[in-house]
Amino acid sequence: MAGRGGAFALVALCMLELALLHGAGAGAGERLVPAMFVFGDSTVDVGNNNLLPVCKPECRANYPQYGVDHPSHAPTGRFSNGYNLADQIAKLLGFNESPPAFLSLQAEGIIPRMNDGINFASGGSGLQNQTGEHCGGVYSMADQLEEFTLVVKMMGNSSYDLISRSLFFISVGSNDLFEYAHAKNPPPNRNDTAFLKCLVDSYKTYLQELHALGARKFSIVSPSLVGCCPSQRAAALQHHNDFDELHCFRPANNLSKQLYALLASKLQELGGDLDGMHYSICDSAGMAEMVFTPGGAKDPTVVDTACCAGPGPFGVGLCNTSATLCPNRTNFVFWDSFHPTEYASGLAASALFIDNGKFVRPINVGQLAAL
Ligand SMILES: *[C@@H]1O[C@H](CO)[C@@H](O)[C@H](O)[C@H]1NC(C)=O
Ligand SMILES: *[C@@H]1O[C@H](CO)[C@@H](O)[C@H](O)[C@H]1NC(C)=O
Ligand SMILES: *[C@@H]1O[C@H](CO)[C@@H](O)[C@H](O)[C@H]1NC(C)=O
Ligand SMILES: *[C@@H]1O[C@H](CO)[C@@H](O)[C@H](O)[C@H]1NC(C)=O
Ligand SMILES: *[C@@H]1O[C@H](CO)[C@@H](O)[C@H](O)[C@H]1NC(C)=O
Ligand SMILES: *[C@@H]1O[C@H](CO)[C@@H](O)[C@H](O)[C@H]1NC(C)=O
């Protein structure tokens, strides 16, 4: 399956050049928003799971190979070889990297850190409370919101101005889809639409809660084509070769595609209802479809196999000390069985920041920050 990333990389690289030409992204020493608050799953976790004592090892990113390209060259709890999507967006906004993991802050440090932002994301978690239970204990979106609410209440009225001008960056939903697609003993007449509507209703509740606390600028990353990650391509082999036209696990991709449409229309509705709400939604499923469609090979050229490769097909397995590392990380879309490389998430971040309606709607994150 080599050779499928070309179109995406070309477009994204052109965007990156455009971004530089037109001065998109923060200038030196400048911040486009006062603070950034991050919620979601392993796509944006920067160390919360590592600090959750009940979280099982397979739901933590602290195997030695993680962070190999991070400035510390050590595992930091990011599910990546280096920076993740939250870091890359933070950099474009003028920060050095993502705000710190909530659980890394001492109690007395939490309120002062609000001025730059905090990251509440927890790998394995989802929109539904029970998602991630197999991890032994992660912070669901409801838990993340609960912690944020406590901090805002502690700050009192002084939080309002800060929160209304800050960026709320949310990347969640993939784990709900994975668990649904792989449910043991699903009932015979399971209704996918009802399930997806339920996810979108939960999303709506979280956004309403954040809005009630003063949040106004939301950047929402819809789940990517979850059936295309190496673990799901390997799953297709186990399910009578149920591959779709992208050579990905068909039922999982089907859910991702439907979810984007439902989420986009829910956001449009909320944008009309909630006073002062502004949002940017990224159609990650659409973007991924471009990445995984054959044609115009450039880079990253390896789109189906994990760079940190375990013993299974498509390099599936734990990215532990027995795993082998690909020599060139900019040549791979996937770092491990589930997560993109730093390079791939950097391309996605630049698209989020400057895309004009192809995948990022109705405005991009650069425009959202500037409001
Ligand atoms: C999810 O958890 C939150 C906080 O723990 C709780 O308030 C909420 O009722 C739960 N939601 C459902 C649907 O169980
Ligand atoms: C906070 O603001 C609300 C409404 O603006 C006001 O009613 C309340 O008295 C304020 N509280 C404090 C502690 O300033
Ligand atoms: C599935 O759920 C949707 C939304 O709740 C509903 O409109 C539809 O009729 C259901 N389909 C079936 C076959 O029950
Ligand atoms: C998803 O699967 C359903 C049922 O198999 C099918 O009707 C629908 O067209 C598919 N949707 C997409 C977006 O692939
Ligand atoms: C690494 O994980 C693989 C499964 O992917 C397992 O077979 C192997 O024993 C693990 N190695 C170590 C050192 O834990
Ligand atoms: C790594 O891969 C990229 C993309 O294919 C390529 O541009 C670059 O030259 C490679 N670097 C090395 C050191 O081989």
- In angstroms, the CA 16 to CA 30 distance is 19
User: Residue 71 Cα, ligand 3 centroid: separation in angstroms?
Assistant: 50
Confidence of residue 314 (pLDDT cuts 50, 70, 90): very high
Higher pLDDT pick, 57 / 222: 222
Q: Supply the pLDDT for residue 21.
A: 45
Confidence of residue 58 (pLDDT cuts 50, 70, 90): confident
Q: CB under 6 Å to ligand 5: residues? A: 310-311, 317-318, 320-322
Residue nearest ligand 3's atom 3 by CA? 194
User: Residue 156 Cα, ligand 5 centroid: separation in angstroms?
Assistant: 48
- In angstroms, the CA 357 to CA 98 distance is 25
Q: Supply the pLDDT for residue 294.
A: 77
Residue nearest ligand 2's atom 8 by CA? 157
Chain segment 347-363, per-residue pLDDT in tens: 999 999 999 999 999 99
Q: Tell me the ligand closest to 341's alpha carbon.
A: 6
Confidence of residue 156 (pLDDT cuts 50, 70, 90): confident
- In angstroms, the CA 1 to CA 230 distance is 11
Can you tell me which residue has the tokens 């739901």? 59
Q: Supply the pLDDT for residue 298.
A: 64
Q: CB under 6 Å to ligand 2: residues? A: 156-157
Predicted TM-score (pTM) of the model is 0.92
Single out the residue of 21, 37, 39, 42 nearest to residue 345, CA to CA: 42
> What percentage of residues in the chain have a pLDDT greater than 90?
80
> What percentage of residues in the chain have a pLDDT greater than 70?
92
The alpha-helical segments, DSSP class H, found in the chain are 6-21, 85-92, 107-113, 141-155, 159-165, 174-181, 192-212, 230-238, 250-273, 284-292, 342-354, 365-370
Chain segment 162-208, per-residue pLDDT in tens: 999 999 999 999 999 999 999 988 888 999 999 999 999 999 999 99
Domains in the chain, CATH or no CATH each: 13-370 (3.40.50.1110)
